[in-house]
Amino acid sequence: MTPEFLDLPPLIGAGGRVALPGSKSISNRVLLLAALAEGQTEITGLLDSDDTRVMLSALQSLGIELKREGSAALVQGGAGRFPAPSADLFMGNAGTAIRPLTAALALQGGDYRLHGVPRMHERPIGDLVDALRQFGCAIDYEGQAGYPPLCIGASQFRLSGDVSVRGDVSSQFLTALLLALPLKAAEQDVVIAVQGELISKPYVEITLNLLRRFGVSVQRTGWERFVIPAGSRLRSPGRIAVEGDASSASYFLAAGVLGQLHRRGAPVRVEGVGRDSIQGDVAFARVLEDLGASVRWGDDFIETDGLQPGLKALRGGEIDCLAIPDAAMTLAMTALFADAPTTLTAIGSWRVKETDRIHAMATELAKLGAQVESGTDWLRIHPLQPDQWRSATIATYDDHRMAMCFSLASFGHADIRIADPGCVAKTYPGYFQDFFRITRPVPVIAIDGPTASGKGSIASAVAEALGFDCLDSGVLYRLTAWAALRQGVALDDSAALAQLAATLPVSFAAGRIHLNGQSFDAAQLRTEAVGQAASTIAALPAVRDALFALQRSFRRAPGLVADGRDMGTVVFPDAQLKVFLTASAASRAERRYKQLISQGNPAILGDVFAELLERDARDTQRAVAALKPAADAELLDSTDLSLEQTVETVLALWRRHDVQVA
């Protein structure tokens, strides 16, 4: 079962190598060409994803013999014919499958039905159908005219003059004709005239390139006229290797830049595409370079390594995205980190992709706090300052690229929750595994333990030694309790207390706590009355939930030391180091007693001891977030250790962890 959402921690760096999955565009084109060609084709590097599975199973239903093993496939070409005269074909949401298959099947004629997911039935295909009808192909719309599902009948193929197709909605219509029409060019030239300005030209280049590999050289005049010469025949090249996916590369290339913003990153290299790639989306790396990224090109790799010398941020500006419609979405994310607004133009095709991507992008970027403007075919994104970022749950609209793009937002100052992360399976089922492998979260050291075990003192000393921020989570429970006592809110009124906790206008500055314009010393909240009230309300699930996001918002670069009861078990379960700090009850009572006296809070040792046992009991026995060591916590008993020794022990544990990571 796929999870409903995925939580991404804030990131501080990136580094490493990613072997890219095969290109979706190339995989599906090669599969179809291999099926139509004469001879057997061995394909390597094939993408294994929803969209390619749709194509594979359609070809199988059409009677094409094929074997698949991992990223390799062996296809026995049908020499221009699909053996099955009829088939019902589910095309999912794969535009790269339905469009060329429609063309090939319509030209052959038969009894075929092509349909997909509901969104597929909203994506236009009328321009392709119109073009095919010029040849006498029989294609009917089952529902709304201009959209799938389609029913294909017997073909009365005839060729009289040029065939025209619109190029300004989707270049896949032209691609579909180019892939299928060589079957009809045995005796005469087939001429395709493009109406309107052709968009996504690099994708048409991929088509022409692959046709050449299969023995067909299309001649073109500009981008308006394409001639498939008489005598053309699709012939298998024998073996063909699929390049890595250049659009998928864009997320990692961006990570190699954003991961260096805190100077904690290393280069990120994508393997499988390089300077000789036939995919237009490699131009994304050139755009990134123009914006100030440091980029290295190899024959089979591209690498990014932060910003060019002397730059402090990526540049903004206006970017024409006509040639890189998919990778352009990634630019909408890097724009958040630029030093000026970025305007993406010529992205009208976004409106008819997996979702209306202009609308989806604008809506989700706004959730992060970004100011966004948009028009029919453009989007302007204003950068976010560190204090403007908002944590958000990002809707992904069943669009793999929305999910992959927004993973990059975790380089900002926010917690990001990605809804329906499984949608990446359309083109990149292992995306998040690769993303986690090459990124480094902002580190957290969680120190949990019973009262007066020394958590607070150790946490602040460790934080100071490492230059990290420090969160004394108990203070948040104490503040809520203090506010409740002052406002006369009953300590069992769960709803009122949760409301109080959720709206605590608390801030921490210069070692002091600020609440409602009042400034506190932590010691002022240390009275036993407040402590007892804190532990009472801390047993209420609603209060704990209300403080959850606030606690997580303290995780910011360069790192956090958090102390409390459930830092390692609930709030930061992915903390890099978890310490469970204990000491005998007697020594804790004595420490607390001395602490209270030294802070001017009168106390009696016996009472302190009794209250401490009472609090231990309540903290360990409550139903939610009970005090207990996380399974992966280091147990540290400080009964016989001085403060300094305890701090040193924790720092040694951290150094050991850090060495392992490096």
Footprint of ligand ADP on this chain (CB under 6 A)?
449, 451-457, 591-592, 595, 638, 641-643, 646
Residue 466, classed as helix, strand or coil, is: helix
- Choose among 536, 538, 535, 564: nearest CA to 551: 564
CB of 597 to ligand ADP, least distance (A): 10
Minimum distance between the CB of residue 456 and ligand CDP, rounded to whole angstroms? 6
Q: How many CA atoms lie within 13 A of 235 on its CB side?
A: 7
By a kind-dependent CB cut-off of 5 to 8 A, residue 477 interacts, out of ligand CDP, ligand ADP, none, with: ligand CDP
Task: Work out the number of other CB atoms within 10 angstroms of the CB of residue 15.
Answer: 18
Site for ligand CDP contains 434 (CB under 6 A): no
Distance, C-alpha 620 to centroid of its chain: 38
Q: How far is the CB of 447 from ligand ADP (least distance, A)?
A: 8
Q: Which of 478, 555, 588, 591 binds ligand CDP (CB under 6 A)?
A: 478
Q: Active site includes 326?
A: yes
Residue 274 binds which one of ligand CDP, ligand ADP, none, with CB within 5 to 8 A depending on kind?
A: none
Interaction between residue 444 and ligand CDP (CB under 6 A): no
Residue 638 interacts, among ligand ADP, ligand CDP, none and using kind-specific CB cut-offs from 5 to 8 Å, with ligand ADP
What does 595 bind: ligand CDP, ligand ADP, none (CB cut-off 5 to 8 Å by kind)? ligand ADP
Least separation in angstroms between residue 475's CB and ligand CDP is 6
Secondary structure of 633-654 in the HEC alphabet?
CEEEECCCCCHHHHHHHHHHHH
Taking residues 619 to 658 in sequence order and writing x for each that binds ligand CDP by CB under 6 A, - otherwise, the string is x---------------------------------------
By the rule CB under 6 A, 93 interacts with ligand CDP: no
Closest to ligand ADP by CB, 227 vs 605, is: 605
- Residues with Cβ within 8 Å of 267's Cβ and at least 6 positions away in sequence, in order, are 15, 256, 296, 303, 304, 305
643 binds, among ligand CDP, ligand ADP, none (CB under 5 to 8 A by kind): ligand ADP
Out of 396, 407, 451, 480, point to the residue binding ligand CDP (CB under 6 A): 451
Burial class (CB in 10 A: 0-12, 13-18, 19+), 29: buried
Q: Are 42 and 72 in contact (CB under 8 A)?
A: yes
Residue 457 marked as a ligand binder: yes
Nearest distance from C-beta of residue 462 to ligand CDP, angstroms: 16
Say if residue 326 carries a ligand binding annotation: yes
d(CA 158, CA 187): 12
Total residues at interface with ligand CDP (CB under 6 A): 16
The answer to the question of whether 171 is labelled as a binding residue is yes
- Identity of residue 598: S
Strand (E) or helix (H) holding 605: helix 605-621
- Within positions 510 to 569, which residues make up the interface with ligand CDP, using CB under 6 A? 531, 534-535, 538, 564-566
Annotated active-site residue in 281, 305, 326, 448: 326
Query: With the C-alpha atoms ordered 213, 217, 223, 227, is the resulting torsion angle positive or negative?
Result: negative
By 3-state DSSP, what share of the chain in percent is helix, strand and coil, each rounded to 5?
40, 20, 35
Nearest-angstrom CA–CA distance, 632 and 649: 17
Q: Does 166 bind ligand CDP (CB under 6 A)?
A: no
CA-CA-CA-CA dihedral for 638, 552, 467, 12, to nearest 10? 130
The helix-helix angle for 172-180 and 95-108 (nearest 10°) equals 40
Distance set, CA 531 to CA 371, 451, 537, 540 (Å): 43, 10, 10, 15
Indicate the residue among 62 and 459 with the shorter CB distance to ligand CDP: 459
* Least CB distance to ligand ADP at residue 470 (A): 11
Binding site annotation covers 454? yes
Q: 127 or 566: whose CB is closer to ligand CDP?
A: 566
Q: Which of the listed partners (ligand ADP, ligand CDP, none) does 538 bind, with a CB threshold of 5 to 8 Å by partner kind?
A: ligand CDP
Q: Which of 9, 10, 412, 474 binds ligand CDP (CB under 6 A)?
A: 474
Judge whether 584 is annotated as a binding position: no
Cα separation, 241 vs 349, whole angstroms: 29
For the chain, the farthest-separated pair of C-alpha atoms sits apart, in whole angstroms, at 105
Q: Least separation, in Å, of the C-beta of 592 and ligand ADP?
A: 6
Q: Please enumerate in sequence order all residues whose Cβ is within 8 A of that of 569, keeping only pairs 6 or more positions apart, or say none.
A: 448, 625, 628, 630
Nearest to 236 by CA among 35, 74, 37, 75: 37
Look up residue 349 and give its amino acid.
Answer: S
- The C-alpha atoms of residue 491 and residue 56 are separated, in whole angstroms, by 63
In terms of CB distance, is 199 or 547 closer to ligand ADP? Answer: 547
Residue 565 site contact among ligand CDP, ligand ADP, none (CB < 5 to 8 Å, cut-off depends on kind)? ligand CDP
Burial class for 640, CB neighbours closer than 10 Å (0-12, 13-18, 19+): exposed
Residue positions forming the annotated binding site for ATP? 449-457
Give the residues lining the site for ligand CDP (CB under 6 A): 451-452, 456, 473-474, 477-478, 531, 534-535, 538, 564-566, 615, 619
Residue positions forming the annotated binding site for 3-phosphoshikimate? 24-25, 29, 170-172, 200, 326, 353
Residues with catalytic roles? 326
Residue positions forming the annotated binding site? 24-25, 29, 95, 123, 170-172, 200, 326, 353, 357, 401, 426, 449-457
Residue positions forming the annotated binding site for phosphoenolpyruvate? 24, 95, 123, 172, 357, 401, 426
